[in-house]
Amino acid sequence: MQNVSTSDRTTPMPALSQKPPGISNMESPMSKTLNNSRQAAYRAQAGLCFYCRCAMWTRSSIELTRSYDITKQQAKRLQCTAEHLRPRSEGGSDLPDNIVAACRHCNCTRHKRKIPRSADEHLRRVRSRISGGRWHPREVLRVMGLQAPEVPQRDNPGEI
Ligand SMILES: [Zn+2]
């Protein structure tokens, strides 16, 4: 376990490029078209994830850890990825009209299912989770301004 302090604000560490286990569907080299579509979407969305509306980073997680009080570990899930609204497996293209920018977490949770949810379904699910104080760690939701206003924490048995 690594104890992340605030001291890495000024001294960026060389990235060790560890790959989280279990994520394999995004390791294929990104085509130029896809990369361009992602960048266009990232700009159009003002750098926010299509699903969870969290700020994302593109080149280095330092972009986020510098601006927000989150750890490198927490920032990992917020890497900007190209998300196919219509999955590739269903013939979705890499062109801009099929690509939005989504954080790694939102993207992976949708596509790791055998039959991915539709983008709309996933969007609803993510938003509902977030309004219940879930989806991302609470600290992340808080710094991103997504935490529900001061309500005493209570269980929400109705939530799936
Ligand atoms: Zn997201």
Domain positions in the chain: 30-143
φ, ψ (nearest 5 deg) of residue 74? -70, -35
Top CATH class of 30-143 equals: alpha beta
**Ligand 1 centre distance from Cα of residue 15 (Å):** 22
For 111, the enclosing helix (H) or strand (E) is helix 104-111
Distance 124 CA to ligand 1 centre (A): 12
- Look at 73 and 26; give whichever has higher pLDDT: 73
Average pLDDT over residues 28-37: 86
Q: What six digits make up the tokens of 49?
A: 């994830």
Residue with tokens 């993207």: 107
Output 38 or 14, whichever has higher pLDDT: 38
pTM: 0.74
